[in-house]
Structure 1
Amino acid sequence: MQGETFSAGKNRMTIYYDRGRVAGKDKNIETRVSGSGGGGYSYQGTGGSAPISITSTTIIHDKIYLQKDDGKERAVELTNWDVACREGNDMLVTWIIPEGKEKGSYVGIKNITNGSELFNDDAIRDLANQDFIKNKALKYFTLIAALFLLYSIGKGIMLFIGIAGFIAYEIYIRNKNKEAGWVIRNYLKQLLDANN
C-alpha cells in the first residue's frame, strides 16, 4: 500500500507498506572466509615469513512469506536483518521509493505480535544523502581536480580557500544528512506506530 509522499531535505520520496501474517519463513546463514599472507623466503639457512591474516564475514538471509487479508502472498527477501518471527505472527514491512525511481529498499519492519521493530540504517542513510555528488570516488576526484586548479591559479592562498570551503561544505552536508535522516525515521516511526 502507498503511504505518504514527503521531502527529506531536497530528496522527495514515497513510503510504502504491506501488512500480513507470516505464512512461512526461511533463514540461511552464509559465512565468507578469506585469507592472505603466509609467503616467506629462505636464504642460507635463515628466512622469514609474512603473517597470515584470516577474516570471516557472516551474512544472514531472511525470506518471509506474508499472507495479506486478500489472500495474496508477498515474499520479503532481506539481507542482514536477522528478523525474529514465526508462522502466524502479524508483520508490517515498509520500503521507500525515491522520486524518479521504480524500486526502493526495505527500511523498517515491525513484528506486531511481539512488538519488535528493526530499521535498515544503511538504506535510511542513502535516502537522506544530500550530497550534490553522491558517488564518493567521483566526489573526491572532483575535489582533487578543483584543488589542483585552485593551486595553479593562485598558489597557496587559493588552495587554502578551497580546502576551507570543502571542510565547511562537508560539515554543512553532514548536518543536512542528519536532519533528512531524522525526517525519514519520523515518517517511518509514525507509520509503524499507527499499525498495532
Structure 2
Amino acid sequence: MKHLYLQQGNLDVESFIDTRAAMKNFECKGKQVEFRTVTGEVAGAHKRSDTIVSGSGGGGSTYNGHGYTSPVQISSKIVVKQEFFLKPADGNQIPVQLSDEDIPLSDRQNMTMISGHAGNAVGKWTHLVNHDAALYWKLGDVGAHAVVWGLVRNPLFSFLIGVAIWIAIGYAVSGSVGFIGMVAFWVYEWINLRNVSKALRNHFDELGREMLRKDAVSS
C-alpha cells in the first residue's frame, strides 16, 4: 500500500490506495499519467446542493441630469455535491466528495473509484464505476485534468505568452506581425488542448469499458 494524495472538487483527502491495482497508462508527448483503482462498498452516501449567486451591471454615469445606468443582471447556479465513504475489503475507509456531479448511488453498492496521477501533481478522481448497475461515470473536466497533469499549458499562461510574443515581435518588427504571431500561438494552443482532451476522453472511456468487461468475465 502506498500513501497518495487525492483531490476532487473542493475536497483534499489523504487516502491509502492500492497501487498494485493499476490500469493502462496514458502517454502524451513524453509525459505519462498513471491510473489506479480502489474497490469497495459504498457507505453514508448523501447529496447536498449549493446555490452560487452572481451579479453584474448596475454601473453608469450622469452629468447635468443626463446619463445612463446599465441594468443589473443576477444569475444563479446550483452545484450538487456528493459525499460518501468507500470501504475496501482489507483497507481503511476512504472519504470521497464529488463536486458538480449528480450520480445515483446507494449504500452497500459495490463500486470502484479510478484516480489519475502524473509526477508530483495532485491525484484526481477520474471515474466512478458502479459494478451493481454495470455503469460508469467520468468525473471532472478532461481539459482541467490535462492542465493539472502538465499535459497542456494553463490557458492563462498561454494567454500571457501570446501577449509577450505580440510585444516582443512588435518591438523588433512591427505591431501587425506581432499580433499575427500572438493569434497563431493562441490557435496552436487551442488545437493542442482540443487534441489532448479528445485523446484523454477516449482513454477514459476505454478504462471505464475495461472495468465493465472485467465484471462480465468474472460473472
Q: Which residue of 1 aligns with 2:170?
A: 151
Deviation at residue 9 of structure 1 after TM alignment: 0.9
Q: Is the 8 A contact 2:48 2:81 kept in 1?
A: yes
1:66 is aligned to 86
* Secondary structure in 2 matching 1:188: helix
Supply the distance in 2 between the matched residues of 1:48 and 1:128 (Cα, whole angstroms). 44
1:189 is matched with: 208
Please say if 1:110 is aligned against 2:129. Answer: yes
Q: Alpha-carbon deviations, 1:41-60, whole Å to 9, x = none? A: 99999997542311111111
The answer to whether structure 1 residue 27 and structure 2 residue 47 are counterparts is yes
In the superposition, relative to structure 1, how do residues 142 and 195 fare at CA in structure 2: closer, same or farther (>3 Å)?
same
Alignment of 1:1-196 (within 5 A): 1-2=18-19, 3-4=22-23, 6-10=25-29, 11-37=31-57, 50-70=70-90, 72-101=92-121, 103-122=122-141, 124-129=142-147, 130-131=151-152, 134-155=153-174, 158-159=177-178, 162-163=181-182, 165-166=184-185, 169-170=188-189, 173-174=192-193, 176-178=195-197, 180-182=199-201, 184-196=203-215
With the length of structure 1 as denominator, give the TM-score of the two structures: 0.78
Structure 2: distance between partners of 1:49 and 1:179: 44
- State the Cα distance separating 1:158 from its structure 2 match: 4.3
Change (3 A) 1:44 1:165: closer
CA distance in structure 2 between the partners assigned to 1:72 and 1:24 by the alignment: 15
Name stretches of at least 5 consecutive residues in structure 2 with no aligned partner: 1-17
Offset at residue 149 of structure 1 (A):
1.6
Greater mean deviation of Cα atoms: 180-189 or 63-72:
180-189
Given that 2:111 and 2:128 are in contact with CA atoms closer than 8 Å, whether structure 1 keeps it comes out as: yes
RMSD value over aligned CA atoms? 3.3
Higher relative contact order (CA 8 A, sep 6+): 1
TM-score, normalising length: structure 2: 0.71
Q: List runs of 5+ in structure 1 lacking aligned partners.
A: none
Identity of matched residues, %: 22
Question: Which consecutive segments of 4 or more residues in structure 1 shift more than 6 A?
Answer: 39-48
Q: Which protein is bigger by CA-based radius of gyration?
A: 1
Deviations 1:64-95 (A, max 9, x none): 11222226322111111112111121111111
Cα distance 1:167–1:145, how it changes in 2: closer, same or farther (>3 A)?
closer
Counterpart-to-counterpart distance in 2, 1:12 and 1:76: 25
8 Å Cα contact 2:165-2:182 kept in structure 1: no
SS in 2 for 1:139: helix
Retained in 1: the 8 A contact 2:126–2:139?
A: yes
Between stretches 149-158 and 36-45, larger displacement belongs to 36-45
